[in-house]
A and B are shown apart, each in its own frame.
Chain A
Amino acid sequence: MIPASWYLILSAVLFSLGVIGFLIKRSLITVFMSIELMLNAVNLSFVTFAHQWHSVKGQIFVFFVMMVAAAEAAVGLAIIIAIFRARATLNVDQVDLMKL
């Protein structure tokens, strides 16, 4: 038997790594991948809780997160293509026409 908390801690580690990637990566595509990593961490935590509650609601939630993540990735990559056409760069620091 493995404590369920191990799965939750793994999910927390993956989520933190995703946040770190979001902050340090300078290529837009990798930043998007970091967001996907965070969503995967969320999914692991949902599946663990679904297992502990013996309810399929959590698994269904994961199913919807997957579908939404796929749609989100499609839109995000389309935005990347639009940026690349206008700017010919994918570096986060060079997409800075407006001051933050």
Chain B
Amino acid sequence: MHLILFIIFAGFCLAGAINLLLQTHPINSALSLIVVMSSLAVLYLLLGAEFLAIAQIIVYAGAVMVLFTFVVMLLNVGEEEKTHGSKAAKIIGFPAIVAAFSVLTTVILAIQNKLGGVKLSDGVTPMTELSTVLFRDMLLPFELTSVLILVAILGAVALARKEGHR
């Protein structure tokens, strides 16, 4: 059961991510990213993080991606133009990424036994435990995030506002 769920949703993740790269219209890329994010939410559930699964749907798929699609439509962005881009990025970039990825995979497979496995019966992190840590031990980062969001609000309004007339 676990294996089937993992394979299905990991497959959705990969398909969505690859489709994001292949599509030329930003709106299609945005929709594929939503597929990736929603399937990740299911994987979080398999890992016992039910709160994060819901937050993933609400924050990422709900808020962030709506913002993206909104901007795509606001600016009426069309198909991606085929400019050749930076040659150096492709010549050095691709082998570098493939090399980095294979190193990473070997490293992870090498410590596979130490990492152990994931069972569906492992149980779900209780919300009470999560919220206790979040609102008690993590007070400083929590308050800091509120300042960060204030900056984002101020910045987004100041940058996106039309200048000229008041």
Residues of A within 8 A of B (CB): 1-10, 12-14, 16-21, 23-27, 29-30, 32-34, 36-37, 40, 43-44, 47-48, 50-52, 56-57, 59-60, 62-64, 66-75, 77-82, 84-85, 90-94
Contact = CB atoms under 8 A, between A and B. Distances in A.
Given A30-B26, A30-B80, A43 B85 contact: no
Given A13-B14, A56-B125, A64-B145, A6 B6 contact: yes
A99 to B, nearest CB: 12
Contact of B52 (A19, A59, A91): A59
9 contacts: A5-B109, A5-B111, A16-B98, A18-B17, A25-B80, A27-B26, A51-B48, A62-B49, A75-B156
A3 B2 CA distance: 11
Contact of A27 (B6, B33, B80, B89): B80
Contact of A29 (B68, B86, B93): B68
A91 B101 CA distance: 28
Contact of A93 (B6, B83, B109): B83
B17 A17 contact: yes
A44 B43 contact: yes
A8 B90 contact: no
B8 interface: no
Contacts, number: 227
A79 B152 CA distance: 11
Interface of B: 2-3, 6, 10, 13-14, 17-18, 20-21, 26, 29-30, 33, 36-37, 40, 43-44, 47-49, 51-52, 55-56, 59-60, 63-64, 67-68, 71-72, 74-75, 77, 80-86, 89-90, 93-94, 97-98, 100-101, 104-105, 108-109, 111-112, 115-119, 122, 125, 129-130, 133-134, 138, 141, 145, 148-149, 151-153, 155-156, 159-160, 162
Contacts of A1: 2, 117-119
A82 B33 contact: no
Contact of A63 (B55, B104, B115, B152): B55
Contacts of B74: 81
Contacts of A17: 14, 17-18, 20-21
Interface majority SS (helix, strand, loop, mixed), chain A = helix
Contacts of B156: 74-75, 77-78
Contact of A51 (B33, B111, B118): B118
